[in-house]
Amino acid sequence: MSITLIQAQRIAEAAREKAIAIGVAMNIAIVDEGANMKLFIRMDNAFLGSADIAIKKARTARLFDMDSGEVGKLSQPGGPLYNIEETNGGLVSFPGGVVIKDSTGKIVGAIGVSGGAVDQDQAVASTGAGAF
């Protein structure tokens, strides 16, 4: 089963609330199990350029079934996934993309967040994914 719109809204709202709590305007993207856009939020004053990054972080996490930061660790020079960012229409391989799993551990989607420092993006994305 893929993530529903109601679930995506709950995830996005949890992420938005975390972003407000840390004082950073964020772009929040949620994709379904097929890596298709389910929901997107651009908070007031969030960086325009971060919208594409949030979407690509979510897609990266779902396409490879691991958080985008983990893809980044594998894509360093000499690593087994070096230059993977050039595939699939462009990926983002730094933290802020988190897979969303159901109670059985099946991946049902992913969230991507951009607008702050990477540790802030990761914290907001993790909060959102945890609301599933």
| CATH number where 125 lies | 3.30.450.150
Number of domains into which the chain is organized: 1
Task: Specify the long-range contacts of residues 83-90, CB closer than 8 Å, at least 24 apart.
Answer: 88/59, 88/60, 88/63, 90/56
Reading the block at residue 124, the tokens are 């907001």
Total Cβ atoms within 10 A of residue 52: 15
pTM listed for this prediction: 0.95
Say what percent of the chain tops pLDDT 70.
Answer: 100
CA separation for the pair 100, 127 (Å, rounded): 11
pLDDT, tens digit (0-9, with 9 covering 90-100), for 81-103? 999 999 998 899 999 999 999 99
Reading the block at residue 55, the tokens are 């979407």
How many secondary structure helices (H) and strands (E) does the chain include? 4, 4
pLDDT at 1: 75
Residue with tokens 């959102």: 128
pLDDT, tens digit (0-9, with 9 covering 90-100), for 2-19? 899 999 999 999 999 999
Reading the block at residue 32, the tokens are 């379904």
pLDDT at 50: 97
At 55, is the secondary structure helix, strand, or coil? helix
Q: Yes or no: say if 28 and 126 are a contact pair by the CB < 8 Å rule.
A: no
Print the domain residue range for 71: 5-130
